[in-house]
């Protein structure tokens, strides 16, 4: 049953929903019915929700390989996302893409891709389109700290600055690209200094603090409204699970145990929950009812995905211009 969520509690609800959806995906992954690689954002929920809370539905968002949170925070349809992950015809990409190819044009979630930095130049394209059309649509491209090592990011910074595009690039800095930490990959050269050198406005903050993420993004949106130039935002956060897949991988020892433990103490969902309870914006009974309602919604989405058929073999070349027949 849909329930009424007070306005000030909505961002918390959305973070909790992303967390519970991903926990359910992780739990069922071993059933081997989701046949695509899956990168979970558990621990990082405040960035997608905080950033998207500052956007309008007409604004456009691109994700990367770790995009369930972005898709849901932008208003993407949970049934269609779950069906996509199950490879079913009712998925948001007809079951052809899986977890890393999510699109929902109804809410301007423009897409995501496993190719690191693949969506960065696409965001320039939508930014340029908004500028040429003279509308007020903003483009947001989410990416990780590892993405910064791709040459196209730097070309894109240059192009966006030259063309004065209304884009916000949001870097979720979780300190790791797969198993390698930031210091081993990049010299001491803060990412926002590079953006600044291109003449972009920059902002940075605690990516586990939803209010801070939302405020910093609102400021970036206001600057774009004022002068139309590109914005770079960097938020520190941390992934809890393995790079790809539903498990923990701390036994591999690539991340110090005390680092993992200290970030888990800074859980974005729990921090916001504690705040709402202490300021009495929410009661424990309401919290329990939200959780119950989300779990019911998730169960229905799995039923929807499982009941949906696989795409037919005849449709294999439907969107292709290389049909051999």
Ligand X SMILES: Cc1ncc(C[n+]2csc(CCOP(=O)(O)OP(=O)(O)O)c2C)c(N)n1
Binding site for ligand X (CB under 6 A): 65-66, 114-116, 143-147, 174, 176-178, 243
| Helical packing angle, 284-307 and 268-278, nearest 10° | 140
Min CB(173)–Mg ion separation in Å: 7
Distance of alpha carbon 183 from alpha carbon 116, whole angstroms: 19
Instruction: At 33, list the tokens.
Output: 């019915």
Of the two residues 178 and 257, which places its CB atom closer to ligand X in the complex?
Answer: 178
Of the two residues 17 and 243, which places its CB atom closer to Mg ion in the complex?
Answer: 243
Across the beta sheet with 139-144, what order do the strands follow? Answer: 109-111, 60-62, 139-144, 167-173, 231-236, 201-206
Of the two residues 12 and 235, which places its CB atom closer to ligand X in the complex?
Answer: 235
Min CB(2)–ligand X separation in Å: 32
Of the two residues 6 and 37, which places its CB atom closer to ligand X in the complex?
Answer: 37
Q: Does 67 bind Mg ion (CB under 5 A)?
A: no
Of the candidates 112, 32, 43, 72, the residue with the CA atom closest to the CA atom of residue 294: 72
Question: Which of Mg ion, ligand X, none does residue 66 bind (CB under 5 to 8 Å by kind)?
Answer: ligand X
Min CB(39)–ligand X separation in Å: 6
Q: Are 61 and 109 in contact (CB under 8 A)?
A: yes
Instruction: At 181, list the tokens.
Output: 């930490």
Min CB(250)–ligand X separation in Å: 16
Phi–psi pair at 172, nearest 5 degrees: -85, 100
> Hey, how many other C-beta atoms are within 10 angstroms of the C-beta on 280?
7
Of the two residues 173 and 271, which places its CB atom closer to Mg ion in the complex?
Answer: 173
Q: Are 92 and 80 in contact (CB under 8 A)?
A: yes
Position among 95, 144, 205, 268 found at the interface with Mg ion (CB under 5 A): 144
End-to-end Cα, the chain, rounded Å = 48
Q: Are 55 and 138 in contact (CB under 8 A)?
A: yes
Q: Are 246 and 26 in contact (CB under 8 A)?
A: yes
Of the two residues 174 and 217, which places its CB atom closer to ligand X in the complex?
Answer: 174
Distance of alpha carbon 304 from alpha carbon 200, whole angstroms: 44
Give SS3 for 33: coil
Of the two residues 163 and 244, which places its CB atom closer to Mg ion in the complex?
Answer: 244
Residue span binding Mg ion (CB under 5 A) among the ranges 58-66, 138-146, 255-263, 315-323 = 138-146
Min CB(256)–ligand X separation in Å: 17
Q: Does 174 bind Mg ion (CB under 5 A)?
A: yes
- Residues between 254 and 313 with contacts to Mg ion, criterion CB under 5 A: none
Distance of alpha carbon 138 from alpha carbon 166, whole angstroms: 5
Question: Which of Mg ion, ligand X, none does residue 95 bind (CB under 5 to 8 Å by kind)?
Answer: none
Position among 145, 201, 209, 234 found at the interface with Mg ion (CB under 5 A): 145
Min CB(146)–Mg ion separation in Å: 5
Question: Which of ligand X, Mg ion, none does residue 115 bind (CB under 5 to 8 Å by kind)?
Answer: ligand X
Min CB(162)–Mg ion separation in Å: 28
For Mg ion, the binding residues (CB under 5 A) are: 144-146, 174, 176
């Amino acid at each position: 049953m849909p329930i009424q969520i007070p306005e000030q509690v909505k961002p918390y609800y959305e973070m909790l929903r992303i967390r519970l959806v991903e926990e359910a995906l992780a739990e069922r992954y071993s059933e081997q019915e989701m046949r695509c690689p899956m990168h979970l954002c558990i621990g990082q929920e405040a960035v997608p929700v905080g950033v998207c809370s500052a956007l309008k539905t007409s604004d456009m968002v691109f994700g990367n390989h770790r995009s369930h949170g972005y898709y849901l925070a932008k208003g993407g349809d949970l049934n269609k996302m779950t069906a996509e992950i199950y490879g079913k015809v009712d998925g948001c990409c007809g079951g052809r893409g899986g977890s890393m190819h999510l699109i929902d044009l109804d809410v301007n979630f423009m897409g995501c891709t496993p190719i690191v930095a693949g969506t960065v130049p696409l965001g320039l394209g939508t930014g340029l389109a908004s500028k040429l059309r003279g509308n007020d649509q903003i483009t947001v491209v989410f990416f990780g700290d590892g993405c910064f090592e791709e040459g196209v990011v730097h070309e894109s910074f240059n192009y966006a600055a030259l063309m004065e595009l209304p884009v916000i690039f949001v870097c979720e800095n979780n300190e790791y690209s797969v198993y390698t930490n930031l210091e081993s990959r990049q010299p001491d050269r803060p990412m926002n200094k590079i953006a600044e050198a291109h003449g972009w406005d920059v902002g940075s903050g605690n990516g586990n603090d939803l209010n801070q993420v939302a405020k910093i993004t609102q400021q970036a949106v206001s600057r774009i409204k004022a002068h139309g130039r590109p914005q770079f935002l960097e938020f520190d956060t941390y992934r809890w699970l393995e790079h790809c897949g539903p498990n923990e991988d701390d036994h591999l020892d690539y991340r110090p145990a005390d680092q993992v433990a200290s970030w888990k103490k800074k859980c974005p969902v729990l921090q916001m929950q504690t705040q709402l309870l202490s300021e009495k914006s929410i009661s424990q009974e309401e919290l329990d009812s939200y959780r119950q309602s989300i779990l019911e919604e998730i169960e229905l989405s799995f039923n929807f995905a499982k009941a949906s058929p696989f795409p037919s073999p005849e449709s294999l070349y439907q969107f292709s211009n290389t049909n051999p027949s």
